[in-house]
A and B are shown apart, each in its own frame.
Chain A
Amino acid sequence: MSGSEGSIVQFDNVGLRYGTDREVLSDISFTLYPGSFYFLTGASGAGKTSLLRLLYLAQRPSRGMIRMFGSDVITLPRNGLPAFRRRIGTVFQDFRLVPHLSAFDNVALPLRVSQVPASEIRKPVADMLDWVGLGNRADARPATLSGGEQQRVAIARAVIARPEILVADEPTGNVDQEMGLKLLRLFEALNRLGTTVVVATHDVQLLKKVPDSLIMRLDKGRLSDPTGALRYPPRRPQRVEGVNG
């Protein structure tokens, strides 16, 4: 794939099937550049979550090539994956909070996994919880939080370690409009700091709220380019290429 220098993620003819079923993703090719903001859209069952699972390294594809941070992650031995995963922040659709940990400990988890000293954890986690409006719920277990609160904890956990890529699966699905907008502003702020953001959503209103974003549309497991943005990228981000479908 030519012209992909400086990319942070590169998919080339990627296909994914579970077991012996038909492919849920076919011939996916695209390149993401650092500091860009992408929306991934598509109907239910189009393969958004499967594509995101490949992005946050929860799954290896059945075929094709994926490069992340300049390395081929397909042939990467599994003991090399943790270092890559620490550079990716993920907001799962079902939040995936650890049920027996408090909101504080859930948010602190990526820092602890990265062996950040305990003395350097308390303040940023408390600040982050304040920012998402849960400063007074730091000790609450997920089961005692509302869906929206859980989602905010999940987002705080995804961004606490300042990831290079933020992957969010329907991150505003369970919050009110005001909080949804606030979270989107957080993503934008991170994006301005250089984080590449990929947000999967079916909310078309959301797409309009980030003017510089690019849209990747999945249709029945194939990537399409309805706005032409993937083929003709705007000035910021610099370039997105390699389209199919």
Chain B
Amino acid sequence: MALAHVIRRNQPRFGGERTGMLQQARLGGPMPWVIAIMIALTVMAAAAGLALSNLARNASAEIAGGITVQVIEAAPAERSRQAEVALSLLNNRDDIAEVRRVPDAELEGLIEPWLGEAAGTADDAIPIPALIDARLRGPVTERRIEALRAELIASVPSAKVDSQAGWLAPVFHAISSLQWLAIGLVVLLAATSAAAVWLAARSALGSNRDTIEIVHLLGGTDAQIARIFQRSIAVDALVGGIVGLLLGLVAILLLGRQFTALGSGMVAGGGLGLADWAAIGAIPLAGVLIAGLTARITVLAALRRML
């Protein structure tokens, strides 16, 4: 039995001694539950941040170098002719890596949910621009877009050229904001956990003050006393961390299933990789580290005020 035996294990519990008491009281106090909730929220925030990061990275890679040429012409025959000219021009350029005309059937499929099945084929149908997807070699700059636009317009007067990244810029800005929000939440939750541990350690110090003074007068060092609190808090944090991790994982899996059911190509890029899962699994350990360190600093600071 170590010196830990000395510090009373109640209101709130700190210090470890008899195994029976530990098992009986382990989840009895509020600390492990507070930490469990904090860890669960941290796990969810971190998972969201990582998923958003993956989503942004995958989407960026997918649309890197991407441009869209629209041929906006009301007459179907002329539209088709100009589209073929544009396709031929693009195919002959060295700086174009990939080019593809979006088939009419695919376009009709895209607008069908809004305009109905016959929207694109009926005689009085709303004219739909012809679309050409192309991928430039190297980065897409406004200057290159402008040069391409000038060349196309000369032969295809109804052509309109846009960078795909430009369309999605607001989406990426929103994703970036959400990522920062997730990072902020993780930091706030870590700070809140540390504050909760600080309060619990102060409270335990108060309720064990007499015992601590006796141990001091018998020659106990600050480090010996702090170690008892630190170890006990770390055990509480570990128990809370594991419970929190499980709660967080359940939430992530449920949310993941919901997002997968959306069937959106962009959302599908927001899955979590092995490294992400490893990072999420390390959150309870980080919690234990923060809790132990906070307890140690708090206890040592309080003890320094005693003789």
CA distance A57 to B9 in the complex (A): 28
- List which A76-119 residues lie within 8 A (CB) of chain B: 78-79, 81-86, 90, 96, 98-101, 105, 109-110, 112-114, 118
Given known contacts A60-B307, A100-B8, A112 and B219 CB-to-CB distance under 8 angstroms: no
Pair A114/B5 contact, Cβ less than 8 Å? no
Query: Nearest chain B CB to A111's CB is how many angstroms away?
Result: 10
Query: Nearest chain B CB to A62's CB is how many angstroms away?
Result: 13
**Chain B residues with CB under 8 A of A112:** 1-3, 5-6
**Chain A residues with CB under 8 A of B2:** 112
Pair B6/A98 contact, Cβ less than 8 Å? yes
Pair B304/A78 contact, Cβ less than 8 Å? yes
**Chain B residues with CB under 8 A of A59:** 307
Given known contacts A82-B221, A98-B6, A101-B5, A109 and B215 CB-to-CB distance under 8 angstroms: yes
Pair B6/A90 contact, Cβ less than 8 Å? no
CA distance A159 to B214 in the complex (A): 15
B211 at interface (Cβ–Cβ under 8 A)? yes
**28 A-B pairs with C-beta separation under 8 A:** A58-B217, A60-B307, A78-B307, A82-B220, A83-B219, A84-B219, A85-B216, A86-B219, A90-B217, A96-B210, A96-B217, A98-B8, A98-B211, A99-B8, A100-B8, A100-B9, A101-B5, A101-B6, A105-B5, A109-B6, A109-B215, A110-B218, A112-B5, A112-B6, A113-B215, A113-B219, A113-B220, A114-B219
Query: Nearest chain A CB to B293's CB is how many angstroms away?
Result: 20
CA distance A157 to B191 in the complex (A): 43
Those 3 A-B pairs whose CB atoms lie nearest each other, nearest first: A86-B219, A85-B219, A82-B219
B222 at interface (Cβ–Cβ under 8 A)? yes
Nearest-neighbor residue (CB-CB) of A60 within chain B: B307
CA distance A84 to B218 in the complex (A): 10
Number of interface residues of B (CB under 8 A): 21
Query: Nearest chain B CB to A208's CB is how many angstroms away?
Result: 31
**Chain B residues with CB under 8 A of A114:** 219
A37 at interface (Cβ–Cβ under 8 A)? no
A56 at interface (Cβ–Cβ under 8 A)? yes
B224 at interface (Cβ–Cβ under 8 A)? yes
CA distance A238 to B272 in the complex (A): 81
Query: Nearest chain A CB to B5's CB is how many angstroms away?
Result: 6
Pair B5/A58 contact, Cβ less than 8 Å? no
Query: Nearest chain A CB to B21's CB is how many angstroms away?
Result: 10
**Chain A residues with CB under 8 A of B219:** 82-86, 110, 113-114
CA distance A114 to B307 in the complex (A): 19
B residues near A (Cβ < 8 Å) are 1-3, 5-6, 8-9, 210-211, 214-222, 224, 304, 307
CA distance A13 to B211 in the complex (A): 32
CA distance A27 to B1 in the complex (A): 45
Nearest-neighbor residue (CB-CB) of B303 within chain A: A78
Given known contacts A96-B210, A112-B5, A56 and B304 CB-to-CB distance under 8 angstroms: no
Chain A 45-76, CB-CB to B under 8 Å as 1, else 0, gives: 00000000000111110000000000000000
CA distance A93 to B143 in the complex (A): 90
CA distance A145 to B164 in the complex (A): 84
Query: Nearest chain A CB to B223's CB is how many angstroms away?
Result: 9
Query: Nearest chain B CB to A119's CB is how many angstroms away?
Result: 12
Pair B307/A86 contact, Cβ less than 8 Å? no
Given known contacts A98-B211, A109-B6, A118 and B1 CB-to-CB distance under 8 angstroms: yes
CA distance A59 to B221 in the complex (A): 16
Q: Given A81-B307, A98-B214, 6 other A-B contacts at CB below 8 A?
A: A83-B219, A96-B214, A100-B8, A109-B6, A109-B214, A113-B218
Pair B222/A79 contact, Cβ less than 8 Å? yes
CA distance A133 to B13 in the complex (A): 34
CA distance A113 to B214 in the complex (A): 11
Query: Nearest chain A CB to B15's CB is how many angstroms away?
Result: 10
**Chain A residues with CB under 8 A of B217:** 56-58, 85, 90, 96
**Chain B residues with CB under 8 A of A79:** 221-222
CA distance A99 to B3 in the complex (A): 15
**Chain B residues with CB under 8 A of A81:** 307
Query: Nearest chain B CB to A239's CB is how many angstroms away?
Result: 29
- Of A59, A83, A101, the most chain B CB neighbours within 10 A belong to A101
Pair A85/B218 contact, Cβ less than 8 Å? yes
CA distance A69 to B5 in the complex (A): 31
Query: Nearest chain A CB to B84's CB is how many angstroms away?
Result: 87
CA distance A78 to B217 in the complex (A): 12
